[in-house]
């Protein structure tokens, strides 16, 4: 299993290697690096891969995802998978009207659409939730299964 992280909230690379991200072309990746916990134990392997090249006004990190595999695969297998994933993943980059494009991969967008359809009418669900919350808010705590406060 390969994890694909679409949003970057933590910096994993030092400043020199971070510069590589802006230079990646579509289908290219960074070298594989170890994910190390606070005790210094390797807990996984990761790399960054560019899905598509985006022109200005996009940030130079737009179109990049971080991929991750478990440590049990070993470094050699992680490097093999990184090469395959970097080559294949751009074919699944989201396109069109999705504002999360290209990081929201086409199969994921399809699954989201299918689930949205299966959930039913959004307005009807919202009205039912609002009514339920209003009713739950007007009931005494004991009838909602909560302990009474002294």
Domain ranges of the chain: 3-104
* pLDDT score for 130: 92
* pLDDT score for 10: 80
Q: Does an H or E element contain 85, and which?
A: helix 75-88
Number of CB atoms found within 10 A of residue 86's CB: 21
For 90-120, what is each residue's pLDDT tens digit?
888 877 666 566 776 777 777 878 888 888 8
Q: How many helices and strands, by DSSP H and E, does the chain display?
A: 4, 4
- In the DSSP assignment, the letter for residue 12 is -
* β-strand pairing of 3-5 with 33-36: unpaired
How many residues are recorded in the chain?
150
Q: Is the pLDDT of residue 142 over 60?
A: no
Q: Is the pLDDT of residue 138 over 80?
A: no
State how far the Cα of 73 lies from the Cα of 13, in Å rounded to an integer: 21
* pLDDT score for 17: 85
* pLDDT score for 49: 92
* pLDDT score for 87: 93
Looking at per-residue pLDDT, the higher value among 108 and 36 belongs to 36
């Amino acid at each position: 299993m390969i994890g694909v992280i679409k949003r970057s909230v933590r910096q994993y690379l030092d400043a020199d290697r971070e510069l590589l991200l802006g230079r990646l072309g579509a289908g290219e990746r960074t070298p594989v690096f170890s994910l190390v916990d606070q005790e210094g134990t390797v807990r996984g392997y990761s790399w960054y891969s560019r899905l598509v090249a985006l022109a200005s006004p996009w940030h130079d990190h737009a179109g990049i995802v971080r991929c991750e595999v478990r440590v049990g695969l070993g470094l050699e297998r992680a490097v093999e998978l990184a090469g395959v994933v970097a080559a294949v993943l751009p074919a699944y980059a989201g396109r069109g009207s999705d504002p999360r494009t290209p990081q929201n991969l086409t199969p994921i967008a399809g699954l989201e659409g299918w689930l949205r359809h299966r959930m039913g009418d959004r307005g009807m669900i919202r009205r039912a939730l609002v009514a339920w919350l209003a009713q739950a808010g007007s009931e005494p705590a004991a009838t909602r299964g909560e302990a009474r406060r002294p």
